Amino acid sequence: MSKKTKVCSWILILGGIAPFSFCKAQGQSELQPILEKVKIEHKLDAQVPLELKFRDEQSKLVTLNDYFQGKPVILVLAYYRCPMLCNQVLHGVADGLRGISFDAGKEFQVVVVSFDPREQPSLAAAKKATYVEHYGRPGSEDGWHFLTGEQSAIDRLTQAVGFPYLYDSVHDQFIHDSGIMILTPQGRISRYLYGIDYSPRDLRLALVESSANRIGSPIDHVLLLCFHYDPNTGRYTTTVLGIVRLAGAVTALMLGMFLFRAWRRERTIAERGALAP
């Protein structure tokens, strides 16, 4: 495989997006700047402008704030006519969410926003029907939202979350990176997850962290001691420090239980002595 072909393959897998004929027409020196231009920029803890207005799949005028009602939000930027990458990202999200016990609409929301201003609510409705069916959870229609909007709102949102993209007028397609954002109930960027496959573990831990531990079980909170979010890879990995923290927490718990039992034993003996004639 030539260097040029390798670079084109990486664009197709990571950046998305351009058809292979576009790649063949470009040299390696020309492709590298394109990759840099569409690379997702980290803006952790940045505030998303919740006042932005879009149209939902029923053509109703909504604001982003309508979906931030005390629950974390998975934000997906994808255009609905995308021939490849956006569909893979959406499938990856649905597949990953099927592996966790949280339900869309109950513990979190999924908000998909098209960055193609030409797309209309009818197309968004068709996409929603496809992925709600693929998700397969009864009653999840209220947890998945597919929005379209004007260029000004799209620009403000993509800039706020660090999601650049380019338009290829020759092939009428967009060049973009692949990844999703996990937002807090207040609309701040908590986590980025990259690629097209999102593990249930990463999704669950990201949602628990983004909710400030308001959702999830005690086990999730223990796992967060062991797993560390790596912003460079957009994944959760085990760390030595995490294992040490867990060992310390377990030791403290066992010591606490030992001291509590010793206290209870001493108290019982003292009570029996007081009751003796």
Within a domain: residue 245?
no
Last residue of a domain, one of 182, 197, 212: 197
Residue of 7, 45, 12 lying closest to 26 (CA atoms):
7
Within a domain: residue 73?
yes
> Does 145 share its domain with 111?
yes
Within a domain: residue 86?
yes
Within a domain: residue 19?
yes
> Does 18 share its domain with 114?
no
> Does 9 share its domain with 68?
no
Statement: residue 3 has pLDDT above 80: no
Within a domain: residue 192?
yes
268-277: buried (b, 16+ CB within 10 Å) or exposed (e) per residue?
A: eeeeeeeeee
Within a domain: residue 189?
yes
Question: 70: pLDDT confidence band, cut at 50, 70 and 90?
Answer: very high
Domain count, the chain: 2
What are 219-258's pLDDT values in tens digits?
Answer: 766 766 677 788 888 888 876 444 445 445 556 556 667 6
Chain-centre distance for alpha carbon 133: 20
> Does 7 share its domain with 69?
no
DSSP per-residue letters across 166-197: EEETTTTEEEE--EEEEE-TTSBEEEEEESS-
Task: For the sheet with 73-77, list strands across it.
Answer: 144-147, 109-113, 73-77, 179-183, 189-194
Average pLDDT, the chain: 83
Within a domain: residue 203?
no
The amino acid at residue 58 is Q
Name the residue range of residue 92's domain: 53-197
Within a domain: residue 221?
no
Alpha carbon of 25 to those of 2, 17, 22, 168, 177: distances in Å? 14, 15, 5, 13, 20
Per the listing, tokens 């693929």 go with: 134
Task: Please say whether the dihedral angle defined by the alpha carbons of residues 191, 183, 101 and 58, taken in this order, is positive or negative.
Answer: negative
Q: Is-above-0.95 flag for pTM?
A: no
Higher pLDDT, 36 or 243: 36
> Does 71 share its domain with 190?
yes
Last residue of a domain, one of 197, 223, 248: 197
Statement: residue 46 has pLDDT above 50: yes
